[in-house]
A and B are shown apart, each in its own frame.
Chain A
Amino acid sequence: MNGARDWRGLLFVAPFLSLYSLILIFPLFRGVWLSLNRVDLFGDGHFVGAGNYVRLAHDPVFGTSLVNTFEVTLMIVPVLTMLALLLALALNNAGKGAALLRGIFFSSAVLSVTIVTLIWRFVLAPDSGLIGELWKSLGWEPLAFLSAPGLVLPAIAVTTIWWSVGLPMLLFLAGLQQIPGDMYEAAALDDSSRWTTFWRITLPSLRRTLVLVVMLQTAAQLQLFGQAQLLTAGGPSGGSRTAVLFLFETAFGRWELGYASAAAEILFLIILAVTFLQYWSTARGAEGGDAR
């Protein structure tokens, strides 16, 4: 009787479970299995064990792509977070102007990456781009943002920040609106300066939002792909090839599915580790705060 009841209960979750298994669990394990094989798109491969991983460890192209990924993530996340916070602070009022500006700043987030890169091509192109024209009008030599090795990652970072600032801004705005107004009145009666109020009242109240934004953005930017693919195709000479671009090229350019899967597993573990590290360090920080 008891067993039968359990079995019937399963029926209720079966639609979800089957779909979940089909599109998440199965690909996850299939990916792990692929990474242990030498396999292309057209035939059965053969088992090579850790062979793909050993090859990756000695592949300078993969190594460079990882370094690029970390560099661009480090360029994007702090600036993006601060910019989103500043915008949210500036636009956190009920005025009509602020509502309009909120909409404008968020609007870039609804564009597809294709449009975004198209726009930024017009901005960044050295000969006729917006910045190029500006430079020329000042009598300077225009900068080749998308072909100079030292400039290409910052250019991609700027493009990404422009594209992604909307959502974190909204998260910060939501966080700001959760702070009760009488707390600021209490701070005013405590003769707190604007700076002290920001550091001691606003920022601690936004801690959860801040952690969320940094974690989401880090995980997202470690998977940066479209901007690099469309703006530079990874160039010049691999200077903007990110990890996901590397595995895209390996899987769908060179058809090395097993090798690409191994790269994907490594990226997955890196994202997992970084996210966990962030979570762990902020949770520890909160405990320290309680003890004070």
Chain B
Amino acid sequence: MPSLEIRDVSKAYGATPVLDRISLAMEAREFIAFLGPSGSGKSTLLRIIAGLETLDEGEVRLDGERIDGLPPGRRGVAMVFQHYALYPHMSVRENMAFGLRNAGVPKAEIEARIAEAARILEIESQLDKKPGQMSGGQRQRVAIGRAIVKQPKLFLLDEPLSNLDAALRMRTRIELAQLRRRVDAALIMVTHDQAEAMTLADRIVVMNDRRIQQVGAPMEIYARPANTFVARFVGSPAMTLAPATLLDGEGRFARVRLGCGAEVETRVKRSAVPNGPLQVGLRPEMAAVAPPGGGTADAEVVLLERLGERTLVYARLSDGQEIIAEDKGDSKLRVGETIGLRIDGAAAHLFGPDGVGHHAEPAE
């Protein structure tokens, strides 16, 4: 039985639709990330699951029980808020006990659960402090602790790492990964940070424009993006999408010509490619730098981004199309220089006129 099941959920604020017939099923103990830009509806969906927003249509079930009509506190979910939302006048212990007391949990049990959560989160010495006396990272742990003690069927994390500085974010990310192995519940995390989603989640739900764009394991989303939105949103820097036309031919795989005239031999099945204008999708690692005239096409270097172990080369093809290529860390290239680009079509993606992605056949 799936742990969380969302069926045809729609939501509008007045005349503005924010969610359009969303359906999703989660496995038991699964960790799912809702990934999307601001305004994609991912937070609204989380809040609908939590009961902080109502839905206009559809239903939400948790462990088979329909919960969309229940008040937030009776749904068996716990939430970690973006700004923690701790009660500032209560001690850490009281913050964690508050929900349990409201639920009528016996006192001894409350104490035991708090002690256990404090041990896991290493905040045993902080239990009598007020949130105002703690650092951001410690408050984050208290917020997580407050969720853990409830022993919910489902954890909801709303941008849990966005308030932490870079170093602490990395550490907390690792801790979240460890935590999820300790708790016997499913987790949903909302984030706009793809690195968080890629590293933590079992599956990623990419959302945009009121709809789910793709659901899949992190590497599946990266390697086989369902459409141009997912292709551009996941992966950093974004995938280059260049207009291309399909060339006639007898081969099993599609061969396309870019605007600048260069031809790319893909491993996308010709029969799968629809008629009409295409876009070829190239990640930086598919375009290597070569001497001028020595590659698939020539380009002019517009910008260099030196990342240490590699250099990203932002270049412009002769028809003005921008493309991002990759060079070694100690690249000697300079802005304005003309270079050749060796495009490896074997992993290239093709997107049809409808934006739907078609991917390379796995190599035999």
Q: Which of B80-88, B118-126, B257-265 contacts A (4 or more CB under 8 A)?
A: B80-88
**Do residues A189 and B78 form an inter-chain contact, with CB atoms below 8 A?**
yes
**Do residues B85 and A186 form an inter-chain contact, with CB atoms below 8 A?**
yes
**Do residues B99 and A183 form an inter-chain contact, with CB atoms below 8 A?**
no
Tell me if A205 is interfacial: C-beta within 8 Å of chain B. Answer: yes
**Do residues B89 and A204 form an inter-chain contact, with CB atoms below 8 A?**
yes
**Do residues B99 and A185 form an inter-chain contact, with CB atoms below 8 A?**
no
Tell me if B272 is interfacial: C-beta within 8 Å of chain A. Answer: no
Tell me if A201 is interfacial: C-beta within 8 Å of chain B. Answer: yes
Task: Tell me the smallest distance from the CB of A92 to a CB of chain B, in Å.
Answer: 19
Tell me if B103 is interfacial: C-beta within 8 Å of chain A. Answer: yes
**Do residues B102 and A182 form an inter-chain contact, with CB atoms below 8 A?**
no
Tally A residues with Cβ within 8 Å of B.
21
Interface 0/1 of B45-88, CB less than 8 Å to A = 00000111000000000000000000111100111011101111
Tally B residues with Cβ within 8 Å of A.
27
Task: Tell me the smallest distance from the CB of A254 to a CB of chain B, in Å.
Answer: 53
Interface residues in A40-67 by Cβ distance below 8 A to B read none
- Give Cα A201 to B98, complex, Å: 11
**Do residues A205 and B102 form an inter-chain contact, with CB atoms below 8 A?**
no
The main secondary structure of chain A at its interface with chain B is helix
Known contacts A182-B83, A290-B130; decide if A191 and B89 are in contact (CB<8 Å): no
**Do residues A189 and B72 form an inter-chain contact, with CB atoms below 8 A?**
yes
**Do residues A190 and B89 form an inter-chain contact, with CB atoms below 8 A?**
no
Task: Tell me the smallest distance from the CB of A289 to a CB of chain B, in Å.
Answer: 7
Known contacts A201-B87, A204-B89; decide if A188 and B73 are in contact (CB<8 Å): yes
**CB contact between B89 and one of A185, A188, A205 (< 8 Å): that residue:** A205
CB closest chain-A residue, reference B88: A205
Task: Tell me the smallest distance from the CB of B107 to a CB of chain A, in Å.
Answer: 15
What chain A residues lie within 8 Å of B74 (beta carbons)? 191
What chain A residues lie within 8 Å of B77 (beta carbons)? 189
**CB contact between A292 and one of B94, B98, B103 (< 8 Å): that residue:** B94
Tell me if B331 is interfacial: C-beta within 8 Å of chain A. Answer: no
Residues of B in contact with A (beta carbons under 8 Å apart): 50-52, 71-74, 77-79, 81-83, 85-91, 94, 98-99, 102-103, 130, 146
Residues of A in contact with B (beta carbons under 8 Å apart): 180, 182-183, 185-193, 196, 200-201, 204-205, 207, 289-290, 292
Top 8 A-B residue pairs of the complex, sorted by shortest distance between their CB atoms: A191-B73, A190-B99, A182-B85, A186-B85, A204-B89, A188-B72, A191-B102, A189-B72
30 contacts between A and B (CB under 8 A): A180-B83, A180-B85, A182-B81, A182-B85, A185-B50, A185-B79, A185-B85, A186-B79, A186-B81, A186-B85, A186-B86, A186-B87, A187-B98, A189-B51, A189-B72, A189-B78, A189-B79, A189-B99, A190-B102, A191-B72, A191-B102, A191-B103, A193-B102, A196-B102, A200-B87, A200-B90, A204-B89, A205-B89, A289-B89, A292-B94
